[in-house]
Homo-oligomer: A and B are copies of this chain.
Amino acid sequence: MDERERFLADGRAALEWAADYLERVGELPVLAQVEPGEVRARLPAAAPEQPEPFEAVLRDLDEILLPGITHWQHPRYFAYFAVSASRPGVLAELLAAALNPVAILWRTSPASTELEGVVCDWVARLLGLPEGWHGHIEDSASTSTLAALIAARHATGRDLVVCSEHAHSSVEKGARMLGMRLRKVEVDDAFRMRVDGLDLSEAAAVVPTVGTTSTTSVDPVAEVADACARTGTWLHVDAAYAGAAMVCEEHRWAFAGVERADSLVVNAHKWMLTPMDCSLLWTSRPADFRAAFSLIPEYLRTPDAEDALSLNEYGPALGRRFRSLKLWAVLRCHGRSGLQRMIREHVRLAERFEGWVRDEPGWELCAPRPFSVVCFRREGSDADNQAILERVNAGGEIFISHTRLHDSYVLRLAIGSERTTEEDVRRAWDAIRAAAE
Protein backbone atom coordinates (compact mmCIF):
# COMPACT_ATOMS: atom_id res chain seq x y z
CA MET A 1 0.00 0.00 0.00
CA ASP A 2 1.48 3.41 -0.89
CA GLU A 3 1.28 6.46 1.36
CA ARG A 4 -1.85 7.76 -0.31
CA GLU A 5 -3.73 4.49 -0.04
CA ARG A 6 -2.71 4.02 3.56
CA PHE A 7 -3.83 7.56 4.39
CA LEU A 8 -7.20 6.90 2.75
CA ALA A 9 -7.65 3.58 4.53
CA ASP A 10 -6.63 5.01 7.92
CA GLY A 11 -8.70 8.10 7.21
CA ARG A 12 -11.81 6.09 6.45
CA ALA A 13 -11.34 4.21 9.71
CA ALA A 14 -10.95 7.49 11.59
CA LEU A 15 -13.96 8.98 9.86
CA GLU A 16 -16.13 6.00 10.68
CA TRP A 17 -14.90 6.10 14.26
CA ALA A 18 -15.95 9.75 14.45
CA ALA A 19 -19.32 9.10 12.79
CA ASP A 20 -20.08 6.23 15.15
CA TYR A 21 -18.94 8.26 18.12
CA LEU A 22 -21.18 11.20 17.25
CA GLU A 23 -24.10 8.84 16.77
CA ARG A 24 -23.71 6.93 20.04
CA VAL A 25 -22.30 9.69 22.29
CA GLY A 26 -25.72 10.10 23.92
CA GLU A 27 -25.53 6.54 25.23
CA LEU A 28 -22.23 7.08 27.05
CA PRO A 29 -21.91 8.42 30.60
CA VAL A 30 -21.50 12.19 30.16
CA LEU A 31 -18.92 12.67 32.89
CA ALA A 32 -15.82 10.49 32.64
CA GLN A 33 -16.10 7.73 35.20
CA VAL A 34 -12.40 7.51 36.04
CA GLU A 35 -10.21 8.44 38.98
CA PRO A 36 -7.28 10.86 38.68
CA GLY A 37 -4.27 9.02 37.27
CA GLU A 38 -6.25 6.11 35.90
CA VAL A 39 -5.79 6.94 32.21
CA ARG A 40 -2.10 7.71 32.66
CA ALA A 41 -1.54 4.41 34.45
CA ARG A 42 -2.84 2.52 31.44
CA LEU A 43 -0.40 4.15 29.00
CA PRO A 44 3.20 3.05 28.47
CA ALA A 45 6.07 5.05 29.92
CA ALA A 46 7.80 5.61 26.61
CA ALA A 47 7.08 6.18 22.94
CA PRO A 48 7.51 3.06 20.79
CA GLU A 49 10.84 2.40 19.13
CA GLN A 50 9.31 1.24 15.85
CA PRO A 51 6.30 2.64 13.98
CA GLU A 52 2.89 1.25 14.88
CA PRO A 53 -0.10 1.17 12.53
CA PHE A 54 -2.72 3.90 12.87
CA GLU A 55 -5.29 1.25 13.76
CA ALA A 56 -3.41 0.71 17.04
CA VAL A 57 -4.00 4.38 17.85
CA LEU A 58 -7.70 4.01 17.11
CA ARG A 59 -7.91 0.87 19.23
CA ASP A 60 -6.29 2.57 22.23
CA LEU A 61 -8.44 5.63 21.72
CA ASP A 62 -11.43 3.34 22.19
CA GLU A 63 -10.10 1.21 25.00
CA ILE A 64 -7.91 3.54 27.04
CA LEU A 65 -8.87 7.14 26.30
CA LEU A 66 -12.61 6.98 25.72
CA PRO A 67 -13.49 5.97 29.30
CA GLY A 68 -11.56 9.06 30.41
CA ILE A 69 -13.36 11.48 28.11
CA THR A 70 -16.02 13.78 29.49
CA HIS A 71 -18.36 14.03 26.53
CA TRP A 72 -18.79 17.66 25.56
CA GLN A 73 -20.65 16.43 22.45
CA HIS A 74 -23.25 14.63 24.61
CA PRO A 75 -26.86 15.85 24.30
CA ARG A 76 -27.08 15.91 28.12
CA TYR A 77 -23.91 17.88 28.74
CA PHE A 78 -25.29 20.81 30.76
CA ALA A 79 -22.20 21.97 32.70
CA TYR A 80 -20.27 25.27 32.49
CA PHE A 81 -21.22 26.39 28.97
CA ALA A 82 -22.43 23.58 26.76
CA VAL A 83 -20.98 23.60 23.23
CA SER A 84 -21.04 21.70 19.96
CA ALA A 85 -18.37 20.93 17.42
CA SER A 86 -20.70 20.55 14.47
CA ARG A 87 -19.80 18.22 11.64
CA PRO A 88 -18.69 20.80 9.04
CA GLY A 89 -16.32 22.25 11.61
CA VAL A 90 -14.93 18.82 12.43
CA LEU A 91 -14.19 18.07 8.78
CA ALA A 92 -12.64 21.48 8.27
CA GLU A 93 -10.14 20.68 11.01
CA LEU A 94 -8.99 17.71 8.95
CA LEU A 95 -8.50 19.98 5.94
CA ALA A 96 -6.74 22.68 7.97
CA ALA A 97 -4.31 20.11 9.36
CA ALA A 98 -3.64 18.66 5.90
CA LEU A 99 -2.84 22.12 4.50
CA ASN A 100 -1.01 23.09 7.70
CA PRO A 101 -0.26 26.68 6.76
CA VAL A 102 1.60 28.55 9.48
CA ALA A 103 0.50 32.14 9.21
CA ILE A 104 3.51 33.83 10.76
CA LEU A 105 3.19 36.49 8.05
CA TRP A 106 0.74 37.33 5.30
CA ARG A 107 2.93 35.80 2.63
CA THR A 108 3.34 32.52 4.47
CA SER A 109 -0.42 32.07 4.28
CA PRO A 110 -2.37 34.74 2.42
CA ALA A 111 -5.55 32.65 2.21
CA SER A 112 -5.79 31.78 5.91
CA THR A 113 -4.87 35.33 6.89
CA GLU A 114 -7.48 36.90 4.64
CA LEU A 115 -10.15 34.29 5.40
CA GLU A 116 -9.66 35.06 9.09
CA GLY A 117 -10.54 38.67 8.42
CA VAL A 118 -13.48 37.69 6.23
CA VAL A 119 -15.10 35.31 8.74
CA CYS A 120 -14.63 37.86 11.52
CA ASP A 121 -16.42 40.39 9.29
CA TRP A 122 -19.19 37.87 8.59
CA VAL A 123 -19.76 37.23 12.28
CA ALA A 124 -19.57 40.95 13.07
CA ARG A 125 -22.38 41.50 10.59
CA LEU A 126 -24.37 38.58 12.01
CA LEU A 127 -24.12 40.10 15.48
CA GLY A 128 -24.94 43.65 14.38
CA LEU A 129 -21.54 45.12 15.19
CA PRO A 130 -20.40 48.38 13.61
CA GLU A 131 -18.75 48.09 10.20
CA GLY A 132 -15.00 48.30 9.87
CA TRP A 133 -13.88 46.68 13.08
CA HIS A 134 -10.71 44.64 12.84
CA GLY A 135 -11.20 41.00 13.80
CA HIS A 136 -8.85 38.10 14.31
CA ILE A 137 -8.96 34.71 16.05
CA GLU A 138 -7.23 33.64 19.27
CA ASP A 139 -7.35 30.20 20.90
CA SER A 140 -9.47 31.11 23.92
CA ALA A 141 -11.19 34.05 25.54
CA SER A 142 -8.41 34.04 28.12
CA THR A 143 -5.94 34.92 25.39
CA SER A 144 -8.29 37.40 23.74
CA THR A 145 -8.79 39.25 27.01
CA LEU A 146 -5.07 39.09 27.76
CA ALA A 147 -4.39 40.68 24.36
CA ALA A 148 -6.96 43.40 24.99
CA LEU A 149 -5.43 44.23 28.37
CA ILE A 150 -2.00 44.47 26.76
CA ALA A 151 -3.32 46.86 24.13
CA ALA A 152 -5.14 48.85 26.81
CA ARG A 153 -2.06 49.25 28.98
CA HIS A 154 -0.01 50.25 25.96
CA ALA A 155 -2.58 52.79 24.82
CA THR A 156 -3.32 54.37 28.20
CA GLY A 157 -0.05 53.99 30.08
CA ARG A 158 -2.08 52.89 33.11
CA ASP A 159 -2.08 49.56 34.88
CA LEU A 160 -5.42 49.19 36.65
CA VAL A 161 -8.06 46.77 35.38
CA VAL A 162 -11.67 47.05 36.54
CA CYS A 163 -14.37 44.39 36.27
CA SER A 164 -17.28 43.17 38.35
CA GLU A 165 -16.97 40.45 40.95
CA HIS A 166 -18.87 38.25 38.49
CA ALA A 167 -16.43 38.72 35.62
CA HIS A 168 -14.72 35.61 34.34
CA SER A 169 -11.58 34.51 36.15
CA SER A 170 -9.58 35.17 32.98
CA VAL A 171 -9.79 38.90 33.64
CA GLU A 172 -8.16 38.53 37.05
CA LYS A 173 -5.71 35.99 35.65
CA GLY A 174 -4.83 38.29 32.76
CA ALA A 175 -4.19 41.21 35.08
CA ARG A 176 -2.08 39.03 37.33
CA MET A 177 -0.05 37.64 34.41
CA LEU A 178 0.66 41.18 33.21
CA GLY A 179 1.50 42.56 36.62
CA MET A 180 -1.50 44.90 36.45
CA ARG A 181 -3.71 45.78 39.39
CA LEU A 182 -7.31 44.62 39.54
CA ARG A 183 -10.31 46.23 41.13
CA LYS A 184 -13.55 44.27 41.41
CA VAL A 185 -16.78 46.23 41.46
CA GLU A 186 -19.88 44.98 43.26
CA VAL A 187 -22.92 43.72 41.40
CA ASP A 188 -26.59 44.57 41.87
CA ASP A 189 -29.33 42.12 42.76
CA ALA A 190 -29.39 40.83 39.20
CA PHE A 191 -25.61 40.23 39.26
CA ARG A 192 -24.85 43.20 36.98
CA MET A 193 -21.88 45.48 37.49
CA ARG A 194 -22.88 48.50 39.60
CA VAL A 195 -22.15 51.71 37.75
CA ASP A 196 -23.29 54.20 40.38
CA GLY A 197 -20.10 55.79 41.57
CA LEU A 198 -17.97 53.89 39.06
CA ASP A 199 -14.68 55.75 38.94
CA LEU A 200 -12.37 54.75 36.13
CA SER A 201 -10.00 57.71 36.39
CA GLU A 202 -6.95 55.51 36.97
CA ALA A 203 -8.12 52.56 34.93
CA ALA A 204 -6.35 51.25 31.83
CA ALA A 205 -9.30 49.00 31.05
CA VAL A 206 -12.72 48.05 32.24
CA VAL A 207 -14.18 44.68 31.31
CA PRO A 208 -17.97 44.45 31.46
CA THR A 209 -19.50 41.09 30.62
CA VAL A 210 -22.43 40.27 28.38
CA GLY A 211 -23.40 36.90 29.79
CA THR A 212 -21.43 36.29 32.96
CA THR A 213 -20.18 32.80 33.73
CA SER A 214 -22.24 32.19 36.83
CA THR A 215 -25.65 33.54 35.79
CA THR A 216 -25.26 34.99 32.24
CA SER A 217 -26.15 38.41 33.63
CA VAL A 218 -25.55 41.39 31.37
CA ASP A 219 -23.50 44.31 32.64
CA PRO A 220 -24.75 47.79 31.62
CA VAL A 221 -22.25 48.32 28.84
CA ALA A 222 -23.68 51.67 27.71
CA GLU A 223 -23.26 53.20 31.17
CA VAL A 224 -19.77 51.74 31.44
CA ALA A 225 -18.99 53.26 28.04
CA ASP A 226 -20.12 56.65 29.38
CA ALA A 227 -17.69 56.29 32.26
CA CYS A 228 -14.91 55.29 29.85
CA ALA A 229 -15.55 58.33 27.71
CA ARG A 230 -14.95 60.57 30.72
CA THR A 231 -11.61 58.99 31.64
CA GLY A 232 -10.12 57.59 28.43
CA THR A 233 -10.40 54.07 29.75
CA TRP A 234 -10.26 51.13 27.32
CA LEU A 235 -13.60 49.31 27.08
CA HIS A 236 -13.15 45.58 26.55
CA VAL A 237 -16.42 43.64 26.42
CA ASP A 238 -16.42 39.94 27.31
CA ALA A 239 -19.29 38.30 25.43
CA ALA A 240 -17.50 34.96 25.11
CA TYR A 241 -20.69 32.96 25.60
CA ALA A 242 -23.67 35.25 25.01
CA GLY A 243 -22.28 37.17 22.04
CA ALA A 244 -23.48 34.43 19.72
CA ALA A 245 -27.08 35.09 20.75
CA MET A 246 -26.92 38.48 18.99
CA VAL A 247 -27.46 36.62 15.74
CA CYS A 248 -31.12 36.88 16.85
CA GLU A 249 -32.61 40.38 16.87
CA GLU A 250 -34.60 39.70 20.03
CA HIS A 251 -31.38 39.42 22.04
CA ARG A 252 -29.71 42.56 20.69
CA TRP A 253 -30.77 44.58 23.75
CA ALA A 254 -27.88 42.87 25.52
CA PHE A 255 -25.38 44.48 23.14
CA ALA A 256 -26.55 48.04 23.80
CA GLY A 257 -23.36 50.07 24.15
CA VAL A 258 -21.11 47.43 22.67
CA GLU A 259 -20.80 49.55 19.53
CA ARG A 260 -18.68 51.90 21.66
CA ALA A 261 -16.26 49.18 22.76
CA ASP A 262 -12.54 49.33 22.07
CA SER A 263 -12.43 45.55 21.91
CA LEU A 264 -14.84 42.63 22.13
CA VAL A 265 -14.46 38.87 22.51
CA VAL A 266 -17.00 36.27 21.38
CA ASN A 267 -16.11 32.55 21.32
CA ALA A 268 -17.28 30.77 18.18
CA HIS A 269 -16.35 27.53 19.93
CA LYS A 270 -18.99 28.14 22.56
CA TRP A 271 -22.44 28.83 21.12
CA MET A 272 -21.57 28.93 17.44
CA LEU A 273 -21.14 25.27 16.53
CA THR A 274 -17.39 25.51 15.97
CA PRO A 275 -14.81 23.10 17.43
CA MET A 276 -12.31 24.36 20.04
CA ASP A 277 -10.42 26.65 19.56
CA CYS A 278 -11.93 29.72 17.95
CA SER A 279 -12.15 32.89 20.04
CA LEU A 280 -13.01 35.99 18.00
CA LEU A 281 -11.43 39.26 19.06
CA TRP A 282 -12.48 42.50 17.42
CA THR A 283 -11.16 45.96 17.97
CA SER A 284 -12.27 49.37 16.83
CA ARG A 285 -8.70 50.55 17.48
CA PRO A 286 -6.48 48.32 15.35
CA ALA A 287 -3.67 50.86 15.32
CA ASP A 288 -3.43 50.55 19.10
CA PHE A 289 -3.25 46.77 18.85
CA ARG A 290 -0.56 47.03 16.23
CA ALA A 291 1.40 49.49 18.33
CA ALA A 292 1.32 47.05 21.24
CA PHE A 293 2.14 43.85 19.36
CA SER A 294 4.05 44.63 16.17
CA LEU A 295 7.69 43.70 16.19
CA ILE A 296 9.34 42.75 12.93
CA PRO A 297 12.86 41.34 13.05
CA GLU A 298 14.93 41.16 9.89
CA TYR A 299 14.10 37.53 9.09
CA LEU A 300 10.40 38.41 8.98
CA ARG A 301 10.68 41.42 6.68
CA THR A 302 9.05 40.86 3.30
CA PRO A 303 8.62 43.09 0.25
CA ASP A 304 4.81 42.95 0.57
CA ALA A 305 4.75 44.01 4.23
CA GLU A 306 3.48 47.51 3.51
CA ASP A 307 0.28 46.36 1.83
CA ALA A 308 -0.35 43.07 3.53
CA LEU A 309 -1.83 42.45 6.90
CA SER A 310 0.11 40.04 9.13
CA LEU A 311 -2.02 39.01 12.06
CA ASN A 312 0.96 38.36 14.35
CA GLU A 313 1.03 42.15 14.67
CA TYR A 314 -2.34 42.11 16.46
CA GLY A 315 -1.90 39.43 19.14
CA PRO A 316 0.58 37.51 21.28
CA ALA A 317 1.49 34.61 18.95
CA LEU A 318 3.68 34.66 15.86
CA GLY A 319 2.77 31.23 14.41
CA ARG A 320 -0.95 30.93 13.75
CA ARG A 321 -2.85 27.89 12.55
CA PHE A 322 -5.70 27.86 10.05
CA ARG A 323 -8.52 28.39 12.57
CA SER A 324 -10.68 30.38 10.19
CA LEU A 325 -11.39 27.39 7.94
CA LYS A 326 -13.63 25.64 10.47
CA LEU A 327 -15.60 28.79 11.22
CA TRP A 328 -16.05 29.41 7.49
CA ALA A 329 -17.35 25.87 7.02
CA VAL A 330 -19.70 26.24 9.99
CA LEU A 331 -21.11 29.57 8.85
CA ARG A 332 -21.71 28.30 5.33
CA CYS A 333 -23.16 24.91 6.22
CA HIS A 334 -25.49 26.24 8.92
CA GLY A 335 -26.21 29.69 7.49
CA ARG A 336 -27.58 32.56 9.50
CA SER A 337 -30.93 30.81 9.68
CA GLY A 338 -29.37 27.66 11.15
CA LEU A 339 -27.60 29.60 13.88
CA GLN A 340 -30.77 31.51 14.71
CA ARG A 341 -32.80 28.31 14.88
CA MET A 342 -30.30 26.74 17.28
CA ILE A 343 -30.07 29.77 19.57
CA ARG A 344 -33.85 30.10 19.72
CA GLU A 345 -34.36 26.42 20.45
CA HIS A 346 -31.81 26.48 23.26
CA VAL A 347 -33.39 29.55 24.82
CA ARG A 348 -36.80 27.90 24.52
CA LEU A 349 -35.53 24.76 26.25
CA ALA A 350 -33.96 26.80 29.04
CA GLU A 351 -37.27 28.61 29.46
CA ARG A 352 -39.06 25.26 29.75
CA PHE A 353 -36.64 24.05 32.40
CA GLU A 354 -36.94 27.33 34.25
CA GLY A 355 -40.71 26.89 34.25
CA TRP A 356 -40.49 23.40 35.67
CA VAL A 357 -38.27 24.58 38.51
CA ARG A 358 -40.55 27.54 39.23
CA ASP A 359 -43.58 25.28 39.45
CA GLU A 360 -41.99 22.62 41.65
CA PRO A 361 -42.41 22.97 45.39
CA GLY A 362 -39.15 22.83 47.30
CA TRP A 363 -37.07 24.29 44.45
CA GLU A 364 -36.17 27.86 43.64
CA LEU A 365 -34.71 29.91 40.83
CA CYS A 366 -31.65 31.90 41.87
CA ALA A 367 -31.07 34.39 39.07
CA PRO A 368 -32.76 35.93 36.04
CA ARG A 369 -32.32 33.82 32.89
CA PRO A 370 -31.64 36.01 29.86
CA PHE A 371 -30.25 33.22 27.64
CA SER A 372 -29.87 29.44 27.93
CA VAL A 373 -28.49 28.96 31.45
CA VAL A 374 -30.71 28.35 34.48
CA CYS A 375 -29.47 28.88 38.06
CA PHE A 376 -31.54 27.03 40.66
CA ARG A 377 -31.34 25.15 43.93
CA ARG A 378 -33.23 22.87 46.22
CA GLU A 379 -34.46 24.70 49.28
CA GLY A 380 -32.18 23.60 52.09
CA SER A 381 -28.49 23.55 52.87
CA ASP A 382 -25.49 23.97 50.61
CA ALA A 383 -24.45 20.46 51.55
CA ASP A 384 -27.77 19.11 50.29
CA ASN A 385 -27.36 20.85 46.96
CA GLN A 386 -23.76 19.78 46.61
CA ALA A 387 -24.82 16.21 47.33
CA ILE A 388 -27.45 16.46 44.58
CA LEU A 389 -24.83 17.66 42.11
CA GLU A 390 -22.35 14.94 42.96
CA ARG A 391 -24.98 12.21 42.89
CA VAL A 392 -26.45 13.26 39.59
CA ASN A 393 -23.05 13.69 37.91
CA ALA A 394 -21.81 10.34 39.21
CA GLY A 395 -24.84 8.72 37.60
CA GLY A 396 -23.50 9.64 34.17
CA GLU A 397 -26.87 10.47 32.67
CA ILE A 398 -26.31 14.22 32.82
CA PHE A 399 -23.49 16.56 33.75
CA ILE A 400 -24.23 19.89 35.45
CA SER A 401 -22.05 22.34 37.33
CA HIS A 402 -22.56 24.86 40.11
CA THR A 403 -21.75 28.33 41.31
CA ARG A 404 -22.16 30.40 44.46
CA LEU A 405 -24.68 33.26 44.59
CA HIS A 406 -25.41 35.43 47.63
CA ASP A 407 -23.23 32.97 49.51
CA SER A 408 -25.41 29.99 48.58
CA TYR A 409 -24.41 26.91 46.63
CA VAL A 410 -26.42 27.02 43.39
CA LEU A 411 -26.90 24.49 40.61
CA ARG A 412 -26.49 25.54 36.96
CA LEU A 413 -28.04 23.94 33.89
CA ALA A 414 -26.51 25.25 30.65
CA ILE A 415 -28.03 24.40 27.29
CA GLY A 416 -25.84 24.68 24.21
CA SER A 417 -25.47 21.38 22.38
CA GLU A 418 -26.96 20.96 18.91
CA ARG A 419 -27.99 17.45 20.00
CA THR A 420 -30.05 18.50 23.01
CA THR A 421 -33.80 17.89 22.70
CA GLU A 422 -36.66 18.70 25.02
CA GLU A 423 -36.60 15.04 26.04
CA ASP A 424 -32.97 15.45 27.18
CA VAL A 425 -33.86 18.48 29.28
CA ARG A 426 -36.81 16.59 30.75
CA ARG A 427 -34.49 13.68 31.63
CA ALA A 428 -32.16 16.14 33.32
CA TRP A 429 -34.95 17.48 35.48
CA ASP A 430 -36.07 13.95 36.36
CA ALA A 431 -32.51 12.94 37.25
CA ILE A 432 -31.98 16.03 39.40
CA ARG A 433 -35.24 15.55 41.30
CA ALA A 434 -34.47 11.84 41.77
CA ALA A 435 -31.02 12.74 43.13
CA ALA A 436 -32.71 15.06 45.62
CA GLU A 437 -34.82 12.31 47.16
Contacts and interface: CB of A to CB of B under 8 A. Distances in A.
A48 B126 CA distance: 10
**Identical copies in the complex:** 2
B34 A110 contact: yes
A68 interface: yes
A329 B388 CA distance: 39
Interface stretch (A17-25, A188-196, A222-230, A344-352): A17-25
Contact of A4 (B22, B117, B178): B22
A309 B95 CA distance: 32
A107 B32 contact: yes
Nearest to A123: B47
Contacts of A7: 18-19, 22, 87, 91
A215 to B, nearest CB: 10
Contacts of A295: 169, 172-173, 176
A8 interface: yes
A94 B90 contact: yes
B52 A333 contact: yes
Nearest to A118: B43
A413 B68 CA distance: 44
Interface in A28-79: 31-32, 34-40, 43, 45-54, 56-57, 61, 64-73, 79
Contacts of A65: 111, 115
Given A298-B404, A317-B142, A18 B11 contact: yes
Nearest to A69: B111
Q: Is the interface of A mostly helix, strand, loop or mixed?
A: helix
B177 A101 contact: no
A316 B142 contact: yes
Contact of A21 (B8, B98, B329): B98
Contacts of A93: 93-94, 96-97
A293 interface: yes
Given A14-B95, A40-B117, A141 B52 contact: no
Contact of A102 (B143, B176, B276, B318): B276
Interface string A259-280: 0000000000100000111000
Contact of A70 (B45, B110, B150): B110
Given A32-B107, A94-B14, A88 B54 contact: yes
A129 to B, nearest CB: 13
Nearest to A57: B329
A46 B102 contact: no
A106 interface: yes
A403 interface: yes
Contacts of A234: none
A421 to B, nearest CB: 13
A383 interface: no
A45 B121 contact: yes
Contact of A69 (B46, B91, B101, B308): B101
A82 to B, nearest CB: 10
A100 interface: yes
A150 B176 CA distance: 9
Contacts of A121: 45
A26 to B, nearest CB: 13
11 contacts: A3-B87, A7-B18, A39-B110, A47-B332, A57-B88, A57-B332, A71-B99, A91-B94, A139-B139, A173-B318, A298-B403
Top-10 shortest CB links A-B = A68-B111, A85-B100, A18-B98, A93-B97, A276-B321, A36-B308, A94-B94, A97-B275, A47-B122, A40-B114
Interface of A: 3-4, 6-8, 10-12, 14-19, 21-23, 31-32, 34-40, 43, 45-54, 56-57, 61, 64-73, 79-80, 83-85, 87-102, 104, 106-112, 114-115, 117-118, 121-123, 125-126, 139-143, 146, 150, 153, 159, 169-170, 172-173, 176-179, 213-214, 269, 275-277, 292-293, 295-300, 303-304, 307-309, 316-322, 325-326, 328-329, 331-338, 390, 401-404, 412
